[in-house]
Amino acid sequence: MALLATLFLGTFMALLDVSIVTIALPSMQRSLGAPLSQLQWIVDGYVIALAASMLTGGALADRHGRKRVFLLGLVVFTLASAACAFAGGAGWLIAARVVQGAAASVITPGAMALLALAYPEPARRARVFGLWSTVASLAFIAGPLVGGPLTEYLGWQSVFLINLPLGAVAIALGRRALSESADPAHASVDPAGQLLAVCWIGALSFGCIEAGHLGWTAPVVLTALTAAVVAFGAFVAVELRRPRPMLPIRLFARPEFGMVNLSSFAIGFGTFGSFFLLSLYLQTARGAGPTEAGLQFLPYVLASSLSANITGRVVARHGPRVPMLTGCAALAATLLALTALGPGTPYFVVAILFAVLGAALMLAGLPVNTMAMHVVPKERSGMASATVNATRQTGTALGVALLGSLVATAPGFTTGLHRGLVVAGAVTAVVTALTAVTLRKAR
């Protein structure tokens, strides 16, 4: 029981910090005097570090010891949380968020590996991984509910300080409950690929964020976008030459694997990227306080929880393909429907749209991992799962960057929100259609 508590708590902390911060952004903006671009980096600094380092996290654990690396990740994450809470300016906060994200990149894959080793019997392992997936999903959607009251009554710093007691408990339990294991002969760390991944994702996000303030033709924006293209090309070239690459580029030669990952990217870009905007909408356009805004996300949270439970059963009975495509189509339609939101929209309309969005997210998101593992050889299933999660986090980082830039260039917040939601919905719809055609041909 202590083992499960450690791994579930570590995972919950790492993924909660993706979303809990969004509800505190307006308070951070007032306290730190941060412009919108810095608010985007407070979110994206974490997500970029998490996305770019996630594929390496598992290899580090395999080489240096899974328990050791997992606990080290918890220690660094907890200390970085304290640094976030005591940040005296936006730059300090962004730097600490990057460290948080890098630490989270070894916590999540480390928890999965330790669970797999602790529960070798297939049926029991499947049940435990189902519980772990539920905890991981709830961590993201619980962020606004937890972050709202903390921000309003204890200040925005409390959304980071909450990690200190949680981290201390997880570390203490883990030292006693976890067993050490390592397979250094089978671990492949790819420093060149890791560095290039950070460069191209970071440069692309920087270019998109700054374009919202300087314009797409500004020299610094064009330089960043060019650097992103060059770094991405170098990243692909390096990964193709390595016998055991960080990212299995050749697996993308399977059209169905490529499209499933593109669907995962679209979920991150459209849904998680727009979540950043919707958090600002509730407080900026509707004038809700942090607690009220958190409570207004309750339909989203409840619908997500119910949908996660139902989706798991549907996937077990009928497979992942139809639920994934249905969920992605529903996400696209809901994102476009959210363009009806305005400062005076009745809350019951907001609640209905939030509930549908939350249900569709689970219906689309949960089957994606399963689908990715269905379309690759069994021996590559672990890499497939890590890849599809990394593409989703990359989509989230770029969604926050690009959709936020649309808000920054708009004459008003509501106009920018609508533009961002149209782009999010359109991208999700196009990817869904392409994925449906590809998977149909592959059957």
Q: Is residue 280 domain-shared with residue 222, that is, in the same domain?
A: no
Using CA atoms, how far apart are residues 193 and 179, in angstroms rounded to an integer? Answer: 30
- In this predicted model, what pLDDT tens digit does every residue of 260-276 receive, in sequence order? 889 999 998 998 888 88
Q: How many CB atoms within 10 Å of residue 287?
A: 10
**Residue 384 located in a structural domain:** yes
- Alpha-helical runs (H) found in 242-346: 255-266, 273-280, 290-296, 298-318, 321-337
Whether residue 83 sits in one domain with residue 64: yes
Residue with tokens 């570590």: 10
Question: Would you say residue 182 lies in a domain?
Answer: no
The answer to whether residue 328 scores a pLDDT higher than 80 is yes
Residue type, 187: A
Q: Is the pLDDT of residue 379 over 60?
A: no
- CATH classification at residue 422: 1.20.1250.20
Q: Report the distance separating Cα 307 and Cα 121, nearest Å.
A: 28
- Spatial neighbors of 207 by CB under 8 A, at least 6 apart, are 221, 222, 224, 225, 228
Would 103 be classed as within a structural domain?
yes
pLDDT at 442 over 60: no
Residues 199 and 230: their CA atoms lie apart, in Å, by 10
Span of 105-119, 144-158, 197-211 with lowest mean pLDDT: 105-119
Check residue 141 and give its pLDDT. Answer: 74
Are 345 and 400 in the same domain?
yes
Domain that holds residue 3: 1-175
Last residue of a domain, one of 150, 175, 200: 175
Q: Is the CB of residue 141 less than 8 Å from the CB of residue 15?
A: no
pLDDT at residue 202 in the model = 85
- The secondary structure of 98-124, three-state, reads HHHHHHHHHHHHHHHHHHHHHCCCHHH
The answer as to whether 369 is a domain residue is yes
Arithmetic mean of pLDDT over the chain:
84
84 touches 159 (CB < 8 A) = no
Residues 229 and 343 in one domain: no
Q: At what angle do helices 36-64 and 2-19 cross, to 10 degrees?
A: 150
Indicate if 378 and 393 belong to the same structural domain.
yes
In the chain, the amino acid numbered 336 is L
Same domain, 214 and 311: no
Same domain, 401 and 292: yes
Whose CA is closest to 361, among 267, 440, 293, 274?
Answer: 267
Q: Report helix, strand or coil for 157.
A: coil
Paired tokens of 75: 């220690």
Domain membership of residue 418 (yes or no) is yes
Sign of the Cα torsion 403, 55, 130, 178 reads negative
Q: Given this model, what pLDDT does residue 327 score?
A: 92
* CB within 8 Å of 57: residues ≥ 6 apart: 69, 73, 105, 106, 107, 108, 109, 110
- Name the band, by pLDDT with cuts 50, 70 and 90, for residue 425: very high
Q: Into how many domains does the chain fold?
A: 3
Residues 270 and 262: their CA atoms lie apart, in Å, by 12
427 and 408 within one domain: yes
Residue 184 domain flag: no
Token reading at 370: 């399963």
Is residue 87 within 8 Å of 96, Cβ to Cβ? yes
With CA atoms as reference, report the closest residue to 78 among 14, 16, 25, 6: 14
- Same domain? For 165 and 311 the reply is no
- Dump pLDDT digits (tens) for 54-77: 777 666 766 777 788 889 999 999
Last residue of a domain, one of 175, 204, 220: 175
Show Cβ contacts of residue 306 under 8 Å, excluding neighbours closer than 6 positions. Answer: 359
Domain contains 180: no
- 236 and 256 fall within a common domain: no
> Do 317 and 197 reside in the same domain of the chain?
no
SS3 300: helix
**Residue 169 covered by a domain:** yes
Tell me: do 66 and 210 sit in the same domain.
no
Q: How many C-alpha atoms does 431 have within 13 Å on its Cβ side?
A: 28
Cα-based distances in Å from 170 to 54, 251, 356, 386: 20, 36, 34, 23
Last residue of a domain, one of 115, 146, 175: 175
